């Protein structure tokens, strides 16, 4: 849609320019100056677009590298936390098992003493 507006605007400008050029020959230097200024502005706008695209592209690449580095650090932290939690769970289960064995062993002694 934007391209069609640009094309239509260019055609209208060209027709009006030719009309003014032929109807008012004394306006030729003004028209020539306006065309030259428009061309210079167009070239500058293209240069700005290219420069901005390069800068944004470089920033995006840098942000992607930073996010990858952060994701790698998070992966390492996740593995460490998982290992710590797994170790704590194993210790807790081992302690619970020891307590269960001790409790069962003590209850066995109490039952034997009562029956004797």
CA distance readout (Å), 107 to 9, 39, 45, 115 = 98, 99, 90, 12
| Domain count across the chain | 1
* Rounded Cα–Cα distance for residues 61 and 55 (Å): 10
Answer whether residue 79 shows pLDDT above 60.
Answer: yes
CB 63 within 8 Å of CB 45: no
CB 67 within 8 Å of CB 61: no
- Residue-wise pLDDT for 10-27, tens only, equals 899 888 888 888 888 888
Answer whether residue 115 shows pLDDT above 90.
Answer: no
- Residue-wise pLDDT for 93-109, tens only, equals 998 888 877 777 666 55
> What is the domain extent for residue 25?
2-115
CB 24 within 8 Å of CB 35: no
Torsion angles phi and psi, residue 111, rounded to 5: -65, -40
Residue 17 pLDDT: 80
Indicate the pTM of the whole model: 0.52
């Amino acid at each position: 849609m934007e391209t069609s507006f640009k094309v239509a605007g260019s055609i209208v400008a060209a027709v009006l320019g030719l009309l003014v050029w032929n109807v008012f020959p004394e306006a030729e230097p003004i028209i020539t100056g306006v065309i030259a200024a428009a061309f210079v502005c167009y070239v500058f706008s293209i240069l700005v677009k290219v420069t901005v695209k390069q800068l944004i592209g470089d920033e995006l690449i840098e942000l992607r590298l930073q996010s990858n580095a952060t994701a790698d650090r998070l992966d390492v932290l996740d593995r460490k936390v998982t290992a710590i939690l797994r170790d704590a769970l194993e210790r807790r289960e081992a302690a619970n098992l020891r307590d269960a064995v001790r409790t069962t062993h003590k209850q066995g002694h109490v039952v034997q003493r009562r029956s004797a």
